[in-house]
Amino acid sequence: MTATPRIVIVGAGFGGLFAARALGRVDADITIIDRHNYHLFQPLLYQVATAGLPPSDVAWPIRSILRRQRNATVLLGEVEAVDRARRIVRLADRDIPFDYLVLATGSTHSYFGRDEWQAVAPGLKSIDDATAIRGRILRAFESAEMAVDPERRRRLLTFVIVGAGPTGVELAGTIAELARFTLAADFRRIDPRSARVVLVEAGPRVLAAFAEPQSMYAQRALEKLGVDVRLNARVTQCDAAGVQLGDERIESETAIWAAGVAASPAGRWLGAPTDRAGRVLVKSDLSIPDDAGVFVIGDAAAVALPGGKVVPGVAPAAKQQGRYVARVLAARLAGRAPPPPFAYRDPGALATIGRRCAVIEFPFVTLRGWLAWWIWGIAHIYFLVGVPSPIVVSLRWLWEYLTYGRGARLITGSEHVD
Amino acid sequence: MTATPRIVIVGAGFGGLFAARALGRVDADITIIDRHNYHLFQPLLYQVATAGLPPSDVAWPIRSILRRQRNATVLLGEVEAVDRARRIVRLADRDIPFDYLVLATGSTHSYFGRDEWQAVAPGLKSIDDATAIRGRILRAFESAEMAVDPERRRRLLTFVIVGAGPTGVELAGTIAELARFTLAADFRRIDPRSARVVLVEAGPRVLAAFAEPQSMYAQRALEKLGVDVRLNARVTQCDAAGVQLGDERIESETAIWAAGVAASPAGRWLGAPTDRAGRVLVKSDLSIPDDAGVFVIGDAAAVALPGGKVVPGVAPAAKQQGRYVARVLAARLAGRAPPPPFAYRDPGALATIGRRCAVIEFPFVTLRGWLAWWIWGIAHIYFLVGVPSPIVVSLRWLWEYLTYGRGARLITGSEHVD
């Protein structure tokens, strides 16, 4: 009798979690390691950053998602290295041995070599990022209410979002609505509706992953909300008091970074070749070139598509890769022939621009406007698989939709207003 | 024509908020200052600390509560001093002038001169306290799952709550339930049901504010949940690895402090006489002896009752005092005769011990058991005045009641598991 094979999965995002779940009936010891105790529904994280939903509506304990899967163990810990020769994953205070390794460590934003900007223009990747950004936005209004100097007040009421992908567009639209509707009556000395939201994009259009008509539509929708959209604009400097776009300086104390894709450390851990963005170049079965027992999936991997492109770093791709890798492993453990090479099925894309406005590109249909918004909403509720109480989340949405309220407007953490 | 009188209220707890609201129709400029941007429904804060409710279900932006009250301005800031001679409240970077001042600054826990214990046994007063305690409790289980040394594992699975007032009892009961029901199936290497919860009380019984039969009932209910209740036990030492009770040491990495009442700084700011707990001794109209324009209410005040006792530091007392002070001010501004001296109406007390178990003492009826629990629940929902979506909170409760789930099991913040 041989020992039960040990499969270690690092990262409980969409890729890692779907891999673990798809391995539910496999006779193996599965260990899933994450830095956080929660799986995050990243597509709705901007709602936490803009006080629309509380963190626990978009994040759920990994343990409770996997509680009934008896072959899976969840460990909370931060991976420091992978020793491929000795087949161990190294945490701060222990080594986890593996026979098969799946790295699903995601990606982070890229500051294009200017990592010092991160402190002044934070990105949005975790719950703590989101509550920190929420605190920054709300504190800016609080400080503006207190400010005596009109220059400072203007600077406090200017919000700059860098990067006009889905996250940037969603943030810009929602902050504009927060200022124009939710907060409008809350202050006495400032008019929150005078807040300025600037969306900065280095490329020639917003939502570059969509076709041009959708980009145009989204831009017009943002402008109708009062968002100042700056295309072909590159950030050349960034500090606590403003953002420099070439010759122009935008005075702002609140910048949020939603641009670029940066290397996950997976390539470094493995000593494996990566592309320019640091994604690990994987074979068509998602394993790395010289090690058939090590797989990289999701945003951490560069999976070639026919025609020289790579699979985009989106949730559906990570889920498909998670499920695929589970099939490869199940076949290998059972001594069956491997499945055919990974093939990406593009399910289309959705993005929302504030309330009642969204764009959708499905394989056979394109939609813009309020119907798209409702489909977006229903699709997201549908995908909230594993939510402890989807009905509560839905009701909260409906309530806030009807009242323009944003109930989670809490400033937490230790930073102070000044 | 004289200038509009300026009323400054410090603290937006029950006392300050009820004072501000009761002044809604008074022709005055009301400024309410708080360190946080939210009003906290403190009776449910233990639910946040034990992952039952997300923070935004028990805390609401002060601004949105007061948005329609046009004579009220909300300022987020920390008071550093009060200059009674110059009639100003001093914040870090500005002075707020007042004609009338209401201090409703609450209280904090007392470590009986051992403030260094606060770092190892934090108290539960703010949202940040609650999420930090939630993180500590959940991290203890995570670390226990990782621990190799059985001694350390036992220490990690031991929780000590100091103080058996309502908060201590509610925490002990809920942590016991968290371990026995919610987390029972979540771990692979430890059995959360083996966790030990110790409730330490210096006095001779739990819930000392209730009559003896209720104390006995609550103690039995706790013991049925597996809580180890230690009466007449005084903490003599406290460190990161355990709590000392005289000769006995309880090894534990998670202690929570729910004992004692400590001075709010109001007395120091005013240079006014206080009682031993630091509460400002006020006159029967809640103003301080030598200054008829300065009032202290709620937990920060010691209001004499006939017979030498003082009004207890509970939410209903703070609300009554807030409303009373508004009447005094309204009368004074209108040139009318002052209202009769403040009289405390005791509405009774409620405390819950986990699910389905509570004790109630109303003026004419005493209840214990499941009926008390339902009345407790309904009363709390009823008192969630100003909640953006009471129905959402209610549904969440019902859902968790039916499923034994606790949806808000997120570890946030920067502390790490080890």
Is the CB of A114 inside 8 Å of chain B's CB atoms? no
d(CA A385, CA A381): 8
Using a CB-CB cut-off of 8 Å, the residues of chain A touching B139 are 76
Stretch B208-226: mean pLDDT: 94
Work out the minimum CA distance from A345 to partner chain B, whole angstroms.
33
Question: A63-92 burial, b if ≥16 CB within 10 A, otherwise e?
Answer: bbbbbebebbbbbbbebeebebeebbbebe
3-state secondary structure B82-112: EECCCCEEEECCCEEECCEEEECCCCECCCC
Q: Would an 8 Å CB–CB cutoff place A77 in contact with chain B?
A: yes
Band the pLDDT of A250: cuts 50, 70, 90. Answer: very high
Contacts of A246 (CB under 8 A, 6+ apart): A233, A234, A236
C-beta atoms surrounding A288 within 10 Å: 24
Q: Which of A183-187, A209-213, B380-384 has the lowest mean pLDDT?
A: B380-384
Active-site residue numbers of A?
Answer: 170
User: Please, what is the Cα angle at B269 between B265 and B271, to 5 degrees?
Assistant: 115
Contact A50, A27 (CB under 8 A): no
CB B158 within 8 A of CB B151: no
Residue B264 or residue A158, greater confidence:
A158
Give the pLDDT score at A417. 40
Q: What is the DSSP string of B108-140?
A: B---TT-GGGGGTS----SHHHHHHHHHHHHHH
The reply to whether B237 touches chain A by the CB within 8 Å rule is: no
Region A248-264: mean pLDDT is 92
Choosing among A33, A47, A79, A186, which should be mutated to test the B contact, i.e. which has the most B CBs within 10 A? A186
Rounded CA separation A272/A36 (Å): 26
Q: What is the mean pLDDT of residues B226-252?
A: 96
Give the confidence band of B123 by pLDDT, cuts at 50, 70, 90: very high
Comparison of pLDDT for A414 and A16, the residue scoring more = A16
Say whether B63 and A403 touch across the interface (CB within 8 A): no
Report, as an integer, the average pLDDT of B310-315.
91
Angle between helix axes A166-177 and A212-224 (nearest 10 degrees) is: 20
Q: Is the pLDDT of residue A410 over 80?
A: no
The separation between CA B22 and the C-alpha centre of its own chain, rounded to angstroms, equals: 22
Class level of CATH domain A115-258: alpha beta
Buried b (16+ CB within 10 A) or exposed e, B172-196: bbbbbbbbbbbbeebbbebebeebb
B363 CB-contact burial (10 Å; exposed 0-12 / middle 13-18 / buried 19+): exposed
- CA B397 vs CA A61, B202, B390, B391: distances in Å: 18, 33, 11, 10
Q: Which of A130, A109, A349, A359 is nearest to A222 (CA)?
A: A359
pLDDT band for B131, please (50, 70, 90 cuts): very high
| Contact status of B386 with chain A (Cβ, < 8 Å) | no
Q: Read off the pLDDT of residues A68-88 as tens digits, 9 standing for 90 and up.
A: 899 999 999 999 999 999 999
Tokens 């460190």, residue? B239
pLDDT above 90 covers what percent of chain B?
68
For residue A382, give every residue at least 6 positions away whose Cβ sits within 8 Å of its Cβ, in sequence order, or none. Answer: none
Domain spans in chain A, listed from the N-terminal domain onward: 6-35+77-108+261-334, 115-258
Nearest CB among A67, A187, A410 relative to B38 is that of A410
When mean pLDDT is compared across A180-194, A308-322, B393-407, the lowest value belongs to B393-407
Gap from A148 CA to chain B (nearest CA, Å): 10
pLDDT at A51: 87
- Measured on CA atoms in the order A65, A6, A105, B140, is the torsion positive or negative? positive
Most confident of A376-380, B166-170, B344-348, B412-416: B166-170
Q: Same CATH topology for A6-35+77-108+261-334 and A115-258?
A: yes
> Testing the interface with A: which of B392, B399, B403 to mutate, by most A Cβ within 10 A?
B392
Task: Name the residue with higher pLDDT: A368 or B197.
Answer: B197
Q: How far apart are CA B73 and CA A417, in angstroms?
A: 17
Q: The whole model's pTM is what? A: 0.87
How many CB atoms are closer than 10 A to CB B92? 11
- pLDDT of A369 > 90? The answer is no
Band (pLDDT 50/70/90 cuts) for residue B383 is: low
Which B-chain residues 17-36 have CB contacts (< 8 A) with chain A?
36
Alpha helices in B225-279 (DSSP H): 266-270
Top-level CATH class of B115-259+356-403? alpha beta
Cα–Cα distance for residue pair A174/A351, rounded to 1 Å: 12
pLDDT at A1: 45
Question: Of chain A residues 92-111, which have a CB less than 8 A from chain B?
Answer: 92-94
Please indicate if any CB of chain B lies within 8 Å of the CB of A417.
yes
Contact status, residue A243 vs residue A255, Cβ threshold 8 Å: yes
Task: Name the closest residue on chain A to residue B404, using Cα atoms.
Answer: A388
The pLDDT value given to residue B406: 61
Two tokens, residue B292: 């008829």
Region of residue A390 (phi > 0: left; psi between -120 and 50: alpha; otherwise: beta): alpha
pLDDT, position B381: 67
Percentage above 70 pLDDT, chain B? 91
Question: Looking at residue B402, what is its pLDDT?
Answer: 60
C-alpha closest to that of B12 among B59, B47, B53: B59
Nearby residues of B376 by Cβ (< 8 Å), 6 or more positions away: B350, B351, B352, B358, B360
Out of A321-330, A363-372, B159-168, B177-186, which region has the weakest mean confidence (pLDDT)?
A: A363-372
Q: Which residue has the tokens 């030598």?
A: B290
Indicate yes or no: CB of A142 within 8 angstroms of CB of B94.
no
Chain B touched by A127 (CB under 8 Å): yes
Q: How far apart are CA A165 and CA A218, in angstroms?
A: 11
Q: Is A200 exposed, middle or buried (0-12, 13-18, 19+ CB in 10 A)?
A: buried
Chain CA centroid to CA B169, Å = 13
Query: Could you report the per-residue pLDDT of A29-62, keeping only the tens digit for each?
Result: 999 999 999 999 888 899 899 988 888 888 888 9
B6-35+77-108+261-334 is a CATH 3.40.50.300 domain: no
Query: Is the pLDDT confidence value at A228 over 90?
Result: yes
Mean pLDDT of chain A: 89
CA distance A134 to A114: 23
Which residues make Cβ contacts (< 8 Å) with residue A335, sequence separation at least 6? none
Question: What are B81-99's pLDDT values in tens digits?
Answer: 999 999 999 998 899 999 9
H helix or E strand, kind and range, residue B365: strand B365-369
Gap between the Cα atoms of A293 and A286, Å rounded: 10
| Confidence at B28, pLDDT banded by 50, 70, 90 | very high
Query: Got the DSSP string for A65-130?
Result: HTTT-TTEEEEE--EEEEETTTTEEEESS-EEE-SEEEE----B---TT-GGGGGTS----SHHHH
Q: Is the pLDDT of residue B385 over 60?
A: no
Question: What integer pLDDT is reported at residue A106 of this predicted model?
Answer: 94
Residue A403 predicted with pLDDT over 80: no
Q: Is the pLDDT of residue B416 over 50?
A: no
Would you say residue A309 has pLDDT above 50? yes
Sort strands B358-362 and B365-369 into parallel, antiparallel or unpaired: antiparallel
CB contact under 8 Å between B59 and A410, yes or no, is yes
Per-residue confidence (pLDDT) for residue A364, from 0 to 100: 80
Q: Which of the two residues, B239 and B54, has the higher pLDDT score?
A: B239
Asked whether residue A237 carries a pLDDT value surpassing 60, the answer given is yes
Q: Which contiguous run of DSSP H or E holds residue A199?
A: strand A196-200
Read off the pLDDT of each residue in B278-305 and give the average, rounded to a whole number: 96
Q: Is the pLDDT of residue B1 over 50?
A: no
Q: B208 touching A, CB under 8 A?
A: no
Q: Is B142 near chain A, with CB under 8 Å?
A: yes
Looking at per-residue pLDDT, the higher value among B183 and A410 belongs to B183
> What pLDDT score does A383 carry?
64
Residue at token pair 């800016």? A140
